Structure 1
Amino acid sequence: MAEPRTGSFGPSPAALAAITRVPDLSAAPDPHSARLCEALARRYALPPEAFVVGPGTASLLHHLVARTAASGGGETVYSDPSFHLYASLTRDYGLTGRAVPLRAYRHDLAALTGAVCDRTRIVLLDSPHNITGTTTSLPEVIALAETVPDGAVVVLDNVYGEFQNDVIDRWFGELIECGAPIVVCRSFSKAHRLFGLRVGYMIGAPALLETLGPIVLRYDVGTLTQAAAAASLADHATVEANRRLVADARRRLAAVLTNAGIAFVPSESASILINVGPVANQLAYWLTGVGCSLRSPSTSGVPAGHIQLFIDNADTPARVARALSDVREPHQS
């Protein structure tokens, strides 16, 4: 087994090379990203019609909520806290949002099911959770989808899915075959490290995607982006190295936190949520000073007393240990 990287993780060299080989930027992009859909089809052993490619998963969600609003409005259901875009899109397009509190840092599936009503049009479920890193199993998502009214859809926002302990890719075929009204969001921004190119995709049963209508416009995804994304899909070694780097750093970071007596949520994502109570702002200051990436209580969505630590480097655990050493006495008082 190859050793985890020792520095920052990054994009596929094949993806960067593919960008340089694009011959003519004056030519129109593939209008519907058909070649990229075919590459995704090979990657997941699904038909190309099971994919919709767009300029980032946020944009795909934007278009989906916009179409829902245009078709007569209704309600969305999501957890609170959760990915901030769910609430803002609901508000911006004049829909009604039903926000369900997390339970023990996880989606409360029973309460989410109870929030579904005949006006529900979209249920938005991030797994791994955008803040806590906790996951929801696919059978639980399918059971939730069985409760939504006709014409509604459950969005499984799985952009951090490659970092899960049990990667759910192998279940996508079963998901499509069962015919549940579920679309899965995946991204090239996380494990593929192509955030700056803005490309994401939805996976769903072809018949379901047809009912959603054209949620992306022609030429939405540029030629360079399509070329890089297709090349990155074929570069399994780099994506696996990125995934392994995060998993290893996550394990070492958990050990640092345990040794320091700091409570944290067991995560399957590229971040860990810690609970340090009233010293959160002070510790956030020290963590930022040693180069850690984080969301603090002053950031929308992060509960008071918590800090969300992002694993964007193999030395993130060492940086956190350094910051904890700097504030050890105040923290223990």
Structure 2
Amino acid sequence: MQAEAPAQGEVRPRKVLDRLKPYSPGKPIWEVQRELGLERVVKLASNENPLGPSPGALEAIQAALPDIHRYPDTQSVLLKEALAQELQLRTEQLVVTNGGDELITLLSETFLEPGDEIVAPSPTFSEYEFGAHLMDARVVSVPLAEGFRYEAASLLAAVNERTKLVWLCSPNNPTGTYMPRQELERLLAGLPQGVLLVYDAAYCHYTAAEDYTDGLEFVRAGRPVIVLQTFSKAYGLAGIRVGFGAAPEAIIRRIMQVKEPFNVNALAQTAAAAALSDKEHVLRSRALNAQGRERLYAGLDQLGLAYTRSMSNFVLVELGARAHELFRALMAKGVIVRYGDIWGLPRHIRVSIGTEEENIFFLECLEQVLQESR
């Protein structure tokens, strides 16, 4: 595609911007209400925690408010100490970031140069590709196997002397599938020296499979892997943006060279530390999610729709050739989901697990739009 000529007086941007596709988030509730004149809108598009934030996190934020005239701790020391104790790691093995998205960008800035390559499955979270393009690196996409399964062999086959990073989201967004521990071991064993595995475990708290691993065992063993986790999902803190990476100390030191100071605000740091100790909230979130998944499976079975069984807090649903039409019809009834075209899945939608009431509302509206479209 030919680059658009800059307007008179405009500074010419980097050429790589012609290839960048900004992340497209799900619409917020207020926007749909305003656009469509609806009172009741249910958002099942962004994989948020329907229980809301940890009560302990809210109390911590209230207590910290009088000090927001001070800059936050640039090293997030207290949060790193809490994480190190919880995860059986050293603080030197941790970096705290402004959500998981910042860590993705930091990894790209730390390790990628023009001409380098990343290997990533397809479909998966689009920000891995964005970070690579930002640094003028090449993306090598590896299609998932049938049923959106991971295969270590196919990822390894795409690795060459130009590969710097291999991205792996497990459970995977948007499919909800995961890489079993034994397969992950094969992948790590097969990677050549100088290649870093980025293991995005943002949804690890929702898994129930016995052969799943959150990847931290490999960090403790000093393997060439960095594990990404976030407080935006099970902990319910998506609105204040805090995540972290865990890796061998040498990798963390390099990332810290490009990290901006004061990247995580003070309220996010204190809230995350409080949420980390709120085990009851995480258990309630897991239980609600597991029940909601089964409720969606049962409802989708009754409607005769195909879906992918998920180890996460969302379900990928196949609606066929009319998927975009049905996606729009659901929004018109007040249900926001994600249309799969952004992942190259134009026949699918991704539905976040909500409360019992929200799940039932979604299934009722889905049945109505299916009937109305016949």
TM, length-normalised to structure 1: 0.90
Do the aligned residues in 1 keep the contact of 2:119 with 2:158 (CA within 8 Å)? yes
- Aligned-residue offset at 1:306: 0.9
**What's the counterpart of residue 355 of structure 2?**
313
**What's the counterpart of residue 55 of structure 2?**
13
3-state SS in 1 of match to 2:294: helix
3-state SS in 1 of match to 2:112: helix
- Amino acid in the other structure paired with 2:177: T
Query: Which of 261, 274, 280 is residue 231 of structure 1 equivalent to?
Result: 274
CA deviation map 1:18-67 (0-9, x unaligned): 11111422223212111100111122222222211111111111011012
C-alpha distance in 2, partners of 1:43/1:317? Answer: 33
C-alpha distance in 1, partners of 2:237/2:117? Answer: 33
- Amino acid in the other structure paired with 2:138: T
3-state SS in 2 of match to 1:21: helix
Q: How many percent of aligned residue pairs carry the same amino acid?
A: 32
- Amino acid in the other structure paired with 2:361: R
3-state SS in 2 of match to 1:317: helix
Note closer, same or farther for the CA distance 1:245–1:18 as it changes in structure 2 (3 Å cut).
Answer: same
Query: Which of 46, 66, 69 is residue 26 of structure 1 equivalent to?
Result: 69
C-alpha distance in 2, partners of 1:191/1:87? Answer: 25
- Aligned-residue offset at 1:119: 1.2
- Aligned-residue offset at 1:171: 6.1
3-state SS in 2 of match to 1:78: strand
Note closer, same or farther for the CA distance 1:170–1:115 as it changes in structure 2 (3 Å cut).
Answer: closer
Note closer, same or farther for the CA distance 1:170–1:99 as it changes in structure 2 (3 Å cut).
Answer: closer
**What's the counterpart of residue 106 of structure 1?**
149
- Aligned-residue offset at 1:199: 0.6
Do the aligned residues in 1 keep the contact of 2:324 with 2:346 (CA within 8 Å)? no
Do the aligned residues in 2 keep the contact of 1:293 with 1:310 (CA within 8 Å)? no
**What's the counterpart of residue 198 of structure 1?**
241
- Aligned-residue offset at 1:9: 1.2
**What's the counterpart of residue 75 of structure 1?**
117
- Aligned-residue offset at 1:75: 0.6
- Amino acid in the other structure paired with 2:120: Y
C-alpha distance in 1, partners of 2:175/2:214? Answer: 23
Matched, 1:124 2:167: yes
C-alpha distance in 1, partners of 2:58/2:95? Answer: 23
**What's the counterpart of residue 137 of structure 1?**
180
C-alpha distance in 1, partners of 2:362/2:89? Answer: 42
Query: Which of 343, 358, 361 is residue 301 of structure 1 equivalent to?
Result: 343
C-alpha distance in 2, partners of 1:241/1:169? Answer: 20
List aligned pairs for 1:78-227, cutoff 5 A.
78-104=120-146, 105-166=148-209, 172=215, 174-210=217-253, 212-227=255-270
Paired residues in the alignment total 324
TM, length-normalised to structure 2: 0.80
C-alpha distance in 1, partners of 2:149/2:241? Answer: 28
C-alpha distance in 1, partners of 2:242/2:307? Answer: 32
**What's the counterpart of residue 242 of structure 1?**
285
C-alpha distance in 2, partners of 1:80/1:131? Answer: 10
- Amino acid in the other structure paired with 2:265: G
Residues 192-201 or 315-324, more deviating? 315-324
Query: Which of 329, 332, 354 is residue 286 of structure 1 equivalent to?
Result: 329
Structure 1 residue ranges without an equivalent (≥5): 1-6
Do the aligned residues in 2 keep the contact of 1:75 with 1:119 (CA within 8 Å)? yes
Note closer, same or farther for the CA distance 1:163–1:230 as it changes in structure 2 (3 Å cut).
Answer: same
